[in-house]
Each structure stands twice: as structure tokens, then as C-alpha cells.
Chain A
Amino acid sequence: MAEKFVGKSIKRTEDPRLIQGLAHYVDDIKLPDTLHAVFVRSIYAHARIKKIDTSAASKTAGVVAVYTGKDISQKIGPVPCGAAIPDMKVPDHRVLATSKVYWVGHPVAVVIAENKYIARDAADLIQIDYDELPPVLDEEKAADPKSPVIHEQFGSNIAYKLTAGEGDIEAALKAADKVVKQKIYHKRLAPIAMETRGVLARYYPGEQELTLWTSTQIPHLARTQISIMLNMPENKLRLIAPEVGGGFGSKLNVYAEEAVMGYASMQLGRPVKWIEGRRENIQGTIHGRGQVGYVEIGCKKDGTITGFRYNVFADMGSYFQLLTPAIPTLTGLMLSGCYKIPAIQMNVTACFTNKMSTDAYRGAGRPEATYVIERAMDLVAAELGMDVVEVRRKNFPAPFGGDNPFHVATGLFYDSGNYQGALDKALKMADYTKLREEQKKARAEGRLIGVGVSTYVEICAMGPSPALPAGGWESATVRIEPTCKVTIMTGSSPHGQGQETSFSQIAADELGVTVNDCTVIHGDTAIVQYGIGTFGSRATAVGGTAVYLALQKLKTKATTLAAHMLGVDAKTVTFADGKFSSGGKSVTIQEVALNAHLAKNIPADMEPGLSAQSFFEPKNFTFPFGTHIAVVEIDRETGEIHFKRYIAVDDCGKQINPLLVQGQVHGGIVQSLGQALFEQVVYDDQGQLVSGSLMDYAVPKAAQLPWFELDSTETPSPVNPLGVKGVGEAGSIGATPAIVAAVVDALAPFGIHHMDMPIKPEHVWNIIKKGKTGAA
């Protein structure tokens, strides 16, 4: 029996280069004669540019070029937005500011010099005169007609308004015994991939070919868009995503700097490199979240939910990046959570503010949805005096799947689910009944223990093409080389997820070879067929399925060839463990691979070679789910929050490599935990970015975290033949409500039912200090 790999926790094949420091991220690629770029960015949130004096910078020895908005903004096409919403206002987003600056960090000029030290020095010599304007910073106040207007041509700061959902919400809320209301904030977050963005551009004037190495999640989509920006044929632009040091959605984008580097290299005839600094990264790479909303949830006395409304103000920032306006629509899609809710309505008012654009950050709109519905379920439980678990069970659908999807009032059909199963498993792990008894006892002793439960569902495997701006399919080519080594080219663009390993596991099992016989190529548009990229927990469910389907085509051809070699009918041939057999005779896949290439003994109507391609179009999204339980104890003296337990049961369908699944869940939970307790992009009342370094922007550290106790259930997805759902964002969606609920529950003796993130010790301490009477 050949060794089977799918379902096993094997070590990653990508790791040896990474643990030895031998991988190549953008800044590790060194080309002779490379110039280095530094951007000069706005120091004001909102101002008119009066004058830019670049003379001193230009005269600096070693400076090769200085460009301002006046020089190049009309020579390069606008920074693209791929999302479209009816009646949406689209600002003309140029690569460098021309007349006005719109946020602290808005690029105004770029200096290109012989080395980065000279470029940095010269950037400081550029003088910019500004006329400051009043900044617009609050997404809710921005909608006020009396607010200053950012983009004057639109007459207001409202980018769009949108209503979504199904059912008669007014009637549903009227029919309720109680309607619970709550204002809920989702503060801005910075994705903080450990590798900042970076671009290296090299132009060959003879061939008229531009190569861009850029730290991106979407090499092909970025190539299409950047070729349009640079007005060059798409097939003359080669885009390479080399090793990419994390993305979390922040590199699911097309940025001004990418096009500017391409332009500069074409103008100067030399390679040009720009590596983003961390301050720049927090100023000028997209942010996540940025919503404030009003929840209204109607319920019967027994806990049955009748209707759910969410009126939300969404902070767009000053310009649209690739998907900025689409993010709140994802919130709308997932408002039903894992519950039967007859009527749901979301009303979005999307506003421009003098801040960096928001866009997709791990979860992208869905963490907001999960957070509001889960908080709302807890508020219902509190209102009715029910247990938080009981109120959830009351509204779960029965387990479903196969041909019976679960239709929710946001318009979606969930593919498969067993919410009770995951909940039961998590409750058992936590010993929930005992936990509640211990909590009661602790409270009697004056100790503050809280238990938070989140039962989440998310939307993954993005997705059917009609639902995505640029296609939702994924591609794969699998080629068996003459020596029977297997080359897999995927349109997915992994940047930490480990698909070099998991796709090899799929191929190895299908072909009866080993993982080490397989190599996965991704990220280079000159080698790999067009693909969509890695985001929205889609790489395995959509990209992996494309690999699987290409393998089936390949096996069909190999079987026909094997039958020819054996002199038998292909229908009689079986393939197992790398061997094609019929009537006691057999040939190995190695023999078939060699013969396919030598082509001396193949059927007359067969093309030589052994490769196959597949473009997989999923018919639906997938809907992973799970239950997270957080147990915290609060220090009454300091307000500090200590985790006692953290339990997560996630169901992402079939698991190709459980070790990688655990890694994704851990990382997601920690980003959730960061959002719940530490992280926030803070702008002051002048629009200055206060949290512009890792000293001030609180990325979670090892010592702040509990030990995560993980388990899973397995409800295969009927949407793809692998039965996989996706797990990249589960943790960042499911954990936040559990953590907030645990803290709120600990403070329930003070009459607390809700707190806004990030919950800091000072907030907790103030509640304890005020005591019961002063509680909100």
C-alpha cells in the first residue's frame, strides 16, 4: 500500500527554507543597479497643498528622480476599486496627492536614489506648504449634512446607502414580546502582516517587459489592474508574489506604490525598490473593521428570535481601495448567524472620513456580523433571564446538508451544518454545568469569573463568480514530468497557509506518489495560468478542488495510455498505489509518465505529454461553524483580565492536514483576542495617527494569551468533492464574541450587559470602582 497523506498532520514542505533564513521575500531579492524609493506622506489629515518644493531633494548627490502628484498622477491610471454598489460615489484616487491630502500618510511625493539612506535624507528636504482644513473623523458624524465635506464634488460624505435583507422587519419587531437595542462599535484595526508591503520593479526596454515583485495575495488580479494603471499590455507585465510574509487581507489589494515603482523603473531604466516601513504600514496599508451600528433584536418570551435589524455607519476612509465599499455588504450577508430568524434588515450608511481606507482584514465584514448577532443573543438571554446556551439552542436549525441547505433571511443558502454537535462537544470539554456552579460559588466569595459562549457560522470558499467582482473560480495545472515528478501550478497564492504541503498531499494520494515527489508553483504570472488568489478562506476549498479536478483529468488520460500499453480496454483498468492494472498485468505511473513524453507507443488519437488543467467554479459558498467558550477571571484590584480556559470546537468540513488547521485556528483566535482586548487604530481629534508604531498598536504577545484547547467536528461540504470548507478566518470570527461575553459575564454582578472593544483593564476597573449603583 502506498502511504496516504490526506488527513494526516505532516510537516510542511515549505519550512526548511523558512527556518534557515533562505527564503526570498521581496526585500531579499537583490538586483544589480537597484534604486531605492522613499515616499513623502501627508502630515495632515485634511489639507490643501499650496506648494511643493523639491529642489533641495533633487540636488542631493545620489538622488536620481523626485516625482510629485503634478508630475505623474495623470500619467498613471487611478488606484482601482473592484466593488460596485448602486449609486456609489467613487472618488478619483490618484497614485500621489495633487491638490488636497486626505489622510495622515497620503503619499505626496516619491524620492528615488542610489540607496535607501540617501532617499530617506532627501525625502526630509522636500518642503510642502499646506492649508489645513477641518478633518472628518467620525463615520457617524460624517453623515451629518453640517459636517465638512471631504470630496467637495459629492456634496456630502456619504459614499452610498444600502438596505439588505429579507422578510417584513417592521412586522417581525412588532410581533416580538421584547425588542432589545444596543449600540455596538467595531473599532479600526491594523492587519500588521509581519512583512510590510514591498515592491521591486525591473523594466527591460528592449523587450518592453516589466517585472514586478510585490508582496501580494492576488498576483494575477494585481497584474491586470497594474497593467491598466500603467497603460501597458497585460502580457508584458510579469507579476511575482515571492515569499509573502503574511497578509490577512491587507495584501488583497492594488496599491499606488506598486504602480509608481513600475512607472519609475520604466522611466529610469533601472530596477527600483520600495520597502514599506512599519509606520508607513500603519498609516498607508488598509485597515479593517471601522463600523458603528445600532442593533434591534425582537424575541418572544421563550427566546425565539422574531427579527433582527442592524443600522450601521461604515467608515470607508477617504478613498476606496480594491474592495472597500464591499466589506459592509459581507456583514449584511452573515447577520443571521447560525439561527432561524424570519426577518433581517441591514441599513448601511457608508461614509468617507479623513483616514486610511478600510478594506478586507481577516474576516472582512463577517466578524462584525458574528459579533453583533452573538452580542444580540447574549442581550436577549440577559433580558429574558435565560442561559446564553439555551437561547442559542432555541433558535438553531436542525442539522442540515446534502440537498437540503439552510435558507436564511439574508438571501444565502448555508451548505451544511450541525450547530448542536459543535456546541455539545465544546460544552462537554468545558464541563459547562460545573463551570456555572463554580462561577456561582466564586461570586458568593466576591470573585469575578465570567463564561462567554459564541456559536458562529461564517462564509468561506469565495465564491461563486456572480458574487465576486473579478471571478470566484480558481485554477490548477498538474503536470507529471517524464521522471514522474509532479508539478502543481495553482492560481491560489499562499502566504503562510501551507498549501505547498496540503496540495501536495492531495496530489500524492491521487497519483500514488509521495509528497516529496510533488512541487507546488504559485505566484508567478509568467509561469502559472490565470488565477484569482488567496483570500476569503478559499485556497483549499476552491483552489484545492481545482487541483483535485485537474488530477482526475490527468488520471483519465493516464488510464487510457496505460490500457494502450497493456493492450487492454481502458474500462478494465484499475488504478491503485501508483499502478495501473488489468487482468494480472500492470504498468506503473512512472512507466506511463515516461511513455507519455517519449510518445513512441501512444494511441494515434492521443496528444503526447501528461498534464491537465482545471478551472473550478463553485456553485455555492461554504459555511464553516463552531463553538468557542472563554472563561476569564477579573482582578478586582487592577481590572486585569486573566483567562482560565479557552475552548474552541471548529467544523471546517474535511481536513487535509489537521496540524495546519490548528495553526489557522490559533492565529485567528489571537487576532480576535487582540481585537477584543488590545488593538485599535487611534486617530486623535486632528486626525493624527496616534497608534503609528508597534509600541502603540498592541499586537498580542505570547505572555498575554491562554492555552487554547481545540477540537473539531466534521460536517463535509457538499459544494466541492473534497468536502472542505476553509478555516483561515474561523478564529478571527468566532472568538471575539466569546471573549467579550466572558468579560461582560464576569461583570454581570455590576449590572453590565455590554462593553465595547477593546476592553481594557481601565474600563473594567472603573466599573468595579463605581460598584453596582454606578453601573451602565
Chain B
Amino acid sequence: MTMTMTMKKISVTVNGTTRQSEIEPRLLLVHYLRDVLGLTGTHVGCETSLCGACTVMVDGQAVKSCTVLAAQADGSNVTTIEGFADGGTLHPMQQAFWEHHGLQCGYCTPGMIVAATQLLQRNPDPSEEEIRQGLEGNLCRCTGYQHIIQAVQCAAKKMKSKPAAAAR
């Protein structure tokens, strides 16, 4: 039997807009973003926090939104892939993925871009090895990662010359 759930009120700022919602306490953050707010750029690839397709920023930390409850995000600031471009200008990481063919089917890409951006926030000048280690939580089945690594290296250069973009 489905239990009658007490709905919970949450307030989450997503990509700069504060959203008030009433949700089931068990609702996952990724389903909140995708199904309640219609932000379908964040993908579900495994439901077990292993593939990283669902990675979003919560209060500046990259988290896997398939294993976070929406209720846990109450009061926080969430950035999804839809919030990365600044109006018509792509985020340097997005631009670098495009230039270096860092994606094929594109399904892992939003999570990969979020994770890679976090990586550069923590280490603005990573070595190839550090990039490989830093992206361990994100799986890509298409690219073999080499073009992704080149994209991150390229983004690192771009973001060093334009640190403002890195803060996003």
C-alpha cells in the first residue's frame, strides 16, 4: 500500500531563481529538477551515484542528485547545466567540450561538465593525471575520455585568463 505521505514545503534557488514547492519527502533531487522544475538537462544514468550523469552543484559542491533528496536541498543554491551559460555566452567548460569534441552521444556531458568545472575550482591547473583522477566519478561510454581531458586542459587555460567565469 502506498502510504499517505505528508508533503513537505521546500524553497530552493535553482540557477538563480528561488522556487517554492510542495513535495513528497522521498522525492529525489534529480526528479525534482527534471519532473517538477522541467530542467531535463540533468540526466539519470544509474540511480546509484556511480555514473555521475546527474551531477549538479549544490551550494558550490558537485553532488550526484540521484542520491540526494530534494528535501535535503531545502534552502540551498543549486546550479544545473542549464545555468552554466551566461545568456548567449557558453561557459568556458562548455566551449572547451565543443571545441575538443569532448562528447558524442551527449548523455553524460552535463554531469561531466559540472564535475570538470568543480575540478578546476579546486585545482585550477591540474595535470593530466589529476584530471583523470578528478573525473573518476563520471562515466562516459563514447569518447574514451581523451577528448574530455583535452577539453578540461583547454578550459583550465581559458579560465585562468578569465577567472570570473570559473566562479559560476
Question: Is B22 part of the binding interface, using a Cβ–Cβ cutoff of 8 Å?
Answer: no
Which residues of B112-168 are within 8 A (CB) of A?
113, 128-129, 131-133, 135-136, 138-149
Nearest A residue to B107, CB-CB? A245
Q: How distant is the Cα of A444 from the Cα of B159 in the complex, in angstroms?
A: 48
Question: Is A693 part of the binding interface, using a Cβ–Cβ cutoff of 8 Å?
Answer: yes
Pick the contact of A194: B51, B129, B131, B136 (CB < 8 A). Answer: B51
Q: Give A213 Cβ to nearest chain B Cβ, in Å.
A: 13
Report chain A residues within 8 Å CB of B104. 246, 496-498, 663, 667
A19-B90, A20-B90, A194-B139 as given contacts; A707 in contact with B146, CB under 8 Å: yes
A28-B40, A670-B144 as given contacts; A660 in contact with B81, CB under 8 Å: no
Q: How distant is the Cα of A250 from the Cα of B106 in the complex, in angstroms?
A: 17
Q: Give B37 Cβ to nearest chain A Cβ, in Å.
A: 11
Q: How distant is the Cα of A62 from the Cα of B24 in the complex, in angstroms?
A: 15
Q: Give A31 Cβ to nearest chain B Cβ, in Å.
A: 13
Report chain B residues within 8 Å CB of A93. none
Q: Are A667 and B141 in contact (CB under 8 A)?
A: yes
Report chain A residues within 8 Å CB of B45. 194-196, 278
Q: Give B69 Cβ to nearest chain A Cβ, in Å.
A: 13
Nearest A residue to B145, CB-CB? A702
Residue of B40, B48, B132, B142 with most partner-chain A CB within 10 A = B142
Question: Is A495 part of the binding interface, using a Cβ–Cβ cutoff of 8 Å?
Answer: yes
Q: Are B98 and A15 in contact (CB under 8 A)?
A: yes
Question: Is A16 part of the binding interface, using a Cβ–Cβ cutoff of 8 Å?
Answer: yes
Question: Is B58 part of the binding interface, using a Cβ–Cβ cutoff of 8 Å?
Answer: no
Residue of A20, A278, A659, A662 with most partner-chain B CB within 10 A = A20
Report chain B residues within 8 Å CB of A30. 35, 38, 40
Which residues of A1-18 are within 8 A (CB) of B?
11-12, 14-16, 18
Report chain B residues within 8 Å CB of A498. 104
Q: Are A701 and B136 in contact (CB under 8 A)?
A: yes
Q: How distant is the Cα of A22 from the Cα of B109 in the complex, in angstroms?
A: 11
Pick the contact of A193: B38, B81, B85, B141 (CB < 8 A). Answer: B141
Q: Give A354 Cβ to nearest chain B Cβ, in Å.
A: 25
Q: Are B99 and A21 in contact (CB under 8 A)?
A: no
Report chain A residues within 8 Å CB of B105. 193-195, 243-246, 495-496
Pick the contact of A662: B26, B97, B131, B147 (CB < 8 A). Answer: B147
Q: How distant is the Cα of A496 from the Cα of B34 in the complex, in angstroms?
A: 22
Interface of B is mostly: loop
Pick the contact of A60: B2, B108, B131 (CB < 8 A). Answer: B2
Nearest B residue to A664, CB-CB? B104
Question: Is A94 part of the binding interface, using a Cβ–Cβ cutoff of 8 Å?
Answer: no
Question: Is A25 part of the binding interface, using a Cβ–Cβ cutoff of 8 Å?
Answer: yes
Question: Is A604 part of the binding interface, using a Cβ–Cβ cutoff of 8 Å?
Answer: no
Which residues of B70-102 are within 8 A (CB) of A?
80-82, 84-85, 90, 94, 97-99, 101
Question: Is A118 part of the binding interface, using a Cβ–Cβ cutoff of 8 Å?
Answer: yes
Q: How distant is the Cα of A159 from the Cα of B97 in the complex, in angstroms?
A: 47
Nearest A residue to B50, CB-CB? A694
Q: Give A45 Cβ to nearest chain B Cβ, in Å.
A: 23
Q: How distant is the Cα of A480 from the Cα of B117 in the complex, in angstroms?
A: 41
Report chain A residues within 8 Å CB of B147. 662-663, 666
Report chain A residues within 8 Å CB of B97. 15, 19
Nearest A residue to B99, CB-CB? A11
Report chain B residues within 8 Å CB of A27. 34, 40, 44
Q: Give A151 Cβ to nearest chain B Cβ, in Å.
A: 33
Q: How distant is the Cα of A196 from the Cα of B51 in the complex, in angstroms?
A: 12
Q: How distant is the Cα of A660 from the Cα of B100 in the complex, in angstroms?
A: 10
Which residues of B17-67 are within 8 A (CB) of A?
24, 26-27, 34-35, 38-48, 50-51, 53
Report chain B residues within 8 Å CB of A122. 2
Pick the contact of B46: A11, A14, A15, A693 (CB < 8 A). Answer: A693
Q: Give B158 Cβ to nearest chain A Cβ, in Å.
A: 14
Question: Is B12 part of the binding interface, using a Cβ–Cβ cutoff of 8 Å?
Answer: no
* Interface size counted on chain A using CB atoms at 8 A: 64
CB-defined interface of A691-712 with B at 8 Å, one 1/0 digit per residue? 0011100010111010110000
Q: How many pairs of A and B residues are in contact by the CB < 8 Å rule?
A: 179
Q: How distant is the Cα of A62 from the Cα of B84 in the complex, in angstroms?
A: 37
A121-B2, A666-B144 as given contacts; A496 in contact with B132, CB under 8 Å: no
Question: Is B103 part of the binding interface, using a Cβ–Cβ cutoff of 8 Å?
Answer: yes
Q: Give A505 Cβ to nearest chain B Cβ, in Å.
A: 14
Nearest B residue to A192, CB-CB? B141
Q: How distant is the Cα of A60 from the Cα of B4 in the complex, in angstroms?
A: 11
Report chain B residues within 8 Å CB of A25. 40, 43, 107
Report chain B residues within 8 Å CB of A412. none
Question: Is A277 part of the binding interface, using a Cβ–Cβ cutoff of 8 Å?
Answer: yes
Nearest B residue to A708, CB-CB? B146
Pick the contact of B82: A15, A22, A60, A62 (CB < 8 A). Answer: A22
Q: Give B2 Cβ to nearest chain A Cβ, in Å.
A: 5
A12-B101, A278-B48 as given contacts; A18 in contact with B109, CB under 8 Å: yes
Nearest A residue to B41, CB-CB? A21
Question: Is A117 part of the binding interface, using a Cβ–Cβ cutoff of 8 Å?
Answer: yes
Q: Are B139 and A666 in contact (CB under 8 A)?
A: no
Q: Give B165 Cβ to nearest chain A Cβ, in Å.
A: 15
Q: Are B107 and A246 in contact (CB under 8 A)?
A: yes
Report chain B residues within 8 Å CB of A192. 141
Q: How distant is the Cα of A16 from the Cα of B2 in the complex, in angstroms?
A: 42
Pick the contact of A667: B41, B43, B131, B143 (CB < 8 A). Answer: B143
Q: How distant is the Cα of A708 from the Cα of B149 in the complex, in angstroms?
A: 12
Q: How distant is the Cα of A23 from the Cα of B84 in the complex, in angstroms?
A: 15
Q: Are B139 and A699 in contact (CB under 8 A)?
A: yes
Q: Give B75 Cβ to nearest chain A Cβ, in Å.
A: 24
Q: Give A248 Cβ to nearest chain B Cβ, in Å.
A: 7
Q: Are B40 and A702 in contact (CB under 8 A)?
A: no
Q: How distant is the Cα of A110 from the Cα of B79 in the complex, in angstroms?
A: 36
A12-B101, A663-B101 as given contacts; A703 in contact with B106, CB under 8 Å: no
Nearest A residue to B110, CB-CB? A21
Residue of B51, B85, B109 with most partner-chain A CB within 10 A = B109
Report chain B residues within 8 Å CB of A705. 132, 144-146
Pick the contact of A702: B46, B80, B131 (CB < 8 A). Answer: B131
Pick the contact of A21: B35, B80, B131, B141 (CB < 8 A). Answer: B80
Q: How distant is the Cα of A248 from the Cα of B98 in the complex, in angstroms?
A: 22
Question: Is A669 part of the binding interface, using a Cβ–Cβ cutoff of 8 Å?
Answer: yes
Q: Give B113 Cβ to nearest chain A Cβ, in Å.
A: 7
Q: Are B142 and A667 in contact (CB under 8 A)?
A: yes
Q: Give B129 Cβ to nearest chain A Cβ, in Å.
A: 8
Nearest A residue to B105, CB-CB? A496
Q: How distant is the Cα of A707 from the Cα of B144 in the complex, in angstroms?
A: 10
Q: How distant is the Cα of A54 from the Cα of B152 in the complex, in angstroms?
A: 51
Residue of A122, A671, A702 with most partner-chain B CB within 10 A = A702
Q: Are B113 and A19 in contact (CB under 8 A)?
A: yes
Report chain B residues within 8 Å CB of A15. 97-98, 103, 106
Pick the contact of B139: A19, A195, A694 (CB < 8 A). Answer: A694
Question: Is A174 part of the binding interface, using a Cβ–Cβ cutoff of 8 Å?
Answer: no
Q: Give A17 Cβ to nearest chain B Cβ, in Å.
A: 8
Nearest B residue to A63, CB-CB? B2
Question: Is A598 part of the binding interface, using a Cβ–Cβ cutoff of 8 Å?
Answer: no
Q: Give A445 Cβ to nearest chain B Cβ, in Å.
A: 25
9 additional contacts (CB under 8 A) given A693-B48, A705-B144: A11-B99, A25-B107, A194-B51, A246-B105, A669-B144, A702-B136, A702-B149, A703-B132, A705-B132
The 6 closest A-B pairs by CB, nearest first: A21-B41, A245-B107, A18-B106, A496-B105, A666-B144, A21-B81
Chain B residues at the A interface, C-beta cutoff of 8 Å = 1-2, 24, 26-27, 34-35, 38-48, 50-51, 53, 80-82, 84-85, 90, 94, 97-99, 101, 103-110, 113, 128-129, 131-133, 135-136, 138-149
- In the assembled complex, 13 residue pairs joining A and B whose CB atoms fall closer than 8 Å, in A order, are A18-B106, A19-B110, A24-B40, A60-B1, A660-B101, A666-B143, A667-B143, A693-B46, A694-B50, A694-B139, A695-B48, A703-B132, A703-B133
Chain A residues at the B interface, C-beta cutoff of 8 Å = 11-12, 14-16, 18-25, 27-28, 30, 56, 60-62, 117-118, 121-122, 125, 192-196, 243-246, 248, 275, 277-278, 495-498, 659-660, 662-663, 665-671, 693-695, 699, 701-703, 705, 707-708, 731
